[in-house]
Chain A
Amino acid sequence: DTAVSQTPKYLVTQMGNDKSIKCEQNLGHDTMYWYKQDSKKFLKIMFSYNNKELIINETVPNRFSPKSPDKAHLNLHINSLELGDSAVYFCASSQDRANLYEQYFGPGTRLTVT
């Protein structure tokens, strides 16, 4: 059974389009995260939700909007895609926000904007 899953695995789209990435975890964790990893492998936190409540919102363009319909799901919607949005986006979860050190990562979504 996949602990943290993301769809799609690959996403190729043109500038200006709107796209969504979905994430689901079946670990019963309370906290979920979105990270962006650029071409230089730099992994940077974007958002974190704890029990459907937004607790971390780093400096990210407001074209990015996370949504957590329940604590097992955290989706990421991106409006008006730009070339610089090309990266691998990882979803992760942890038991709760206090136990954030052991984060389980999804397989990643490689987004390419052309």
Chain B
Amino acid sequence: QKEVEQNSGPLSVPEGAIASLNCTYSDRGSQSFFWYRQYSGKSPELIMFIYSNGDKEDGRFTAQLNKASQYVSLLIRDSQPSDSATYLCAVYSGAGSYQLTFGKGTKLSVIP
């Protein structure tokens, strides 16, 4: 059974610091990796995706992928209180599965 693991947190960081969120996955054949952000009481929204090993940067967000170690991470630089949310890692295993497997999410709290 495909699994996606995340530390549920809460992860607390001071405003302006770097927040580091991690995710591991069990299916070695997984192809694509996604980070969704979910504010309390709201629906998830896609913020980053990554396919290849290495880093992908978008503004204050950097996604890192290490397929050999089967982990993906999300770094948020210059964290703001508005970044406080639950971050869901999702994995697409490909092979005609046509679905994403989500982790349980990490709750991030940015302290002003």
Query: Which residues of A are interface residues toward B (Cβ below 8 A)?
Result: 31, 33, 40-45, 48, 50, 55-56, 90, 97, 100-103, 105-108
**Does chain A have a CB within 8 A of B25?**
no
Asked if residues B98 and A48 are in contact (CB atoms below 8 Å), the reply is yes
How many pairs of A and B residues are in contact by the CB < 8 Å rule? 54
Contacts beyond the supplied A40-B8, A42-B102: 16 A-B pairs with Cβ under 8 Å = A41-B38, A41-B86, A43-B88, A43-B105, A45-B99, A48-B98, A48-B99, A55-B98, A90-B43, A100-B92, A102-B46, A105-B43, A106-B43, A107-B43, A108-B42, A108-B43
A82-B46 Cα distance, complex, nearest whole Å:
32
Given A41-B104, A101-B32, A90:B98 Cβ within 8 A? no
Q: A48-B99, A56-B99 are in contact. Are A101 and B104 (CB under 8 A)?
A: no
Query: For the complex, what is the distance from the CA of A31 to the CA of B100, rounded to whole Å?
Result: 13
B86 touches A101 (CB 8 A): no
Closest Cβ neighbor of B86 among chain A residues: A41
Known: A41-B104, A90-B43. A101 touches B98 (CB 8 A): no
Residues in A neighbouring B8, C-beta threshold 8 A:
40-41
Whether B45 is near chain A, meaning CB under 8 Å from some CB there, is yes
Over the window 82-106 of chain B, the binary record of Cβ atoms lying under 8 Å from chain A Cβ atoms (1 yes, 0 no) is 0000101010100000111110110
B45 x A43 contact (CB < 8 A):
no
